[in-house]
Amino acid sequence: MRVGIHSGFTFLSFRAKSRNLLLFPETFRDVSTPLDMTKQRAFQRAVLGWYRERGRDLPWRRTRDPYAVLVSEFMLQQTQVGTVLPHYKDWLQRFPNFAALARASEAEVLHAWQGLGYYNRARNLHATAKIVATRHCEHFPRSIDQLQQLPGVGKYTAHAIATFAFDQPVAIIEANTSRLLSRLLDLRIPIDSTAGRNALWNSASALTPKKAPAAYNSALLDLGALVCLPRQPKCGICPVKRFCRAKNPKSLPIKRPRPGTKQLVEKHAFVVEHDKVLLEKSPARWRGMWILPPVKLDGFKPSSLPHPIYTAVFPFTNHRVALKVFRQRLRQIDNGKCWFPFRKLDSIPIPSPHRRAIDALLGLNVSSVHAQR
């Protein structure tokens, strides 16, 4: 099957590798002209030339160490570069290689991850380190198939490691590159559909050069992050604007409508005795971390609770959580709960929303991590 695009835009015409792509709307015609290699090379030269002058100098771009690249990719999932930078340096100092991370306890790993959120990434990174250290004798796999068998490594992460650690000529598609390519292609199908994803991966693969693919992919990421912005793209300074066929570059790529964001309410207790605070090891969302104990109503109605002494709202995956904290006195301490001296709070893994609540309620700077999710 061939992908259809505007008849005037033969530069990015390509034969789709997938046979399962949906046809574009009838306003598009099927184009059988193969990729124009001359314009493809011009596009690549423009991208790489801009990157040499304007690309970001990021620490994970100064290394080909698979471990350092893997750490950066896990940290950058759903997290901005500015948030990752200080955590990345600290992490590598604390866990400089697969062996060091594999030897660490889960509590140490979660504590080091504080401020980055989405803690399953830390657990998956820890599990991957153990696999590499034991099964692979610290030799990191190079093939895409082997990489995707590691915990938490999907298609994008596998391709990113392959290109940034091993300079393999493979495409990468994430938020920035998908926005850039969908505008270049003037893609009119949802980019989060199977058809849209296939179209983006196929077009990106067709454009990826065999020479200097790591620099090229870094350039696309930076173009999306610095120039081809979501709301106000800087088309006037875009180095590839002559190749772009978007009629309205300020419009965002089409996505399928999402259900409304839900807000969940979580009630927790603040129990203090002298210079200690009571915490509970979370069995669910914050598994392996210490949180303020959930409030148990024991048959009483929620309306019987006093006013919360602390309230905060924070995002969590596809919903928002309203954290409400109530002052309470517990008559007995259940299993899983433990008293912690104030001075020890900075050395245990506590999720950022709960740590901020403790900080505010104690009125002390007990945390060195104040990063927002």
Percent of the chain exceeding pLDDT 90 equals 52
Q: How confident is the model at residue 331 (pLDDT cuts 50, 70, 90)?
A: low
Q: Which of 55-64, 151-160, 190-199, 230-239 has the lowest mean pLDDT?
A: 190-199
DSSP string, 75-117: HHTTS-HHHHHHHHHHHHHHS-SHHHHHHS-HHHHHHHHTTS-
Mean pLDDT, the chain, whole residue set: 83
DSSP string, 319-342: EEEEEEEEE---SS--TTEEEEEG
Distance CA 158, CA 150 (A): 9
Distance CA 94, CA 96 (A): 6
Q: Mean pLDDT, to the nearest integer, of 262-288?
A: 86
Q: What are the φ/ψ torsions at residue 241 (nearest 5 degrees)? A: -65, -25
Q: Which residues contact 272 (CB under 8 A, 6 or more apart)?
A: 278, 362
- Which residues are identified as catalytic? 73
Distance CA 59, CA 56 (A): 10
Q: What is the pLDDT of residues 213-240, one digit of tens each?
A: 999 999 999 999 999 999 899 999 999 9
As given in the structure block, the two tokens for residue 245 are 């066929």
CA distances from 275 to 69, 244, 278, 339 (A): 42, 62, 10, 10
Above 90 in pLDDT, residue 347? no
Q: What is the pLDDT of residues 5-42, one digit of tens each?
A: 333 333 443 333 332 333 333 333 332 223 466 788 99
CA distances from 212 to 3, 107, 189, 209, 271 (A): 27, 40, 31, 7, 57
Q: Mean pLDDT, to the nearest integer, of 131-138?
A: 84
> Which of residues 253 and 10 earns the better pLDDT score?
253
CA distances from 140 to 143, 146, 210, 213, 261 (A): 10, 9, 22, 20, 39
Max CA distance (Å), the chain:
77
Note the pLDDT of residue 364. Answer: 46
Q: Mean pLDDT, to the nearest integer, of 55-83?
A: 95
Note the pLDDT of residue 24. Answer: 36
Contact between 122 and 109 under an 8 Å Cβ cutoff? The reply is yes
Q: How confident is the model at residue 258 (pLDDT cuts 50, 70, 90)?
A: low
Above 60 in pLDDT, residue 322? yes
Contact between 17 and 203 under an 8 Å Cβ cutoff? The reply is no
DSSP string, 248-312: -TTSPPP-PPPPPPEEEEEEEEE-EETTEEEEEE-SSTTTTSEEPPBP--TT--GGGS---SEEE
Helix ranges, 23-174 (H): 37-54, 66-76, 81-94, 98-103, 106-113, 120-134, 144-147, 155-166
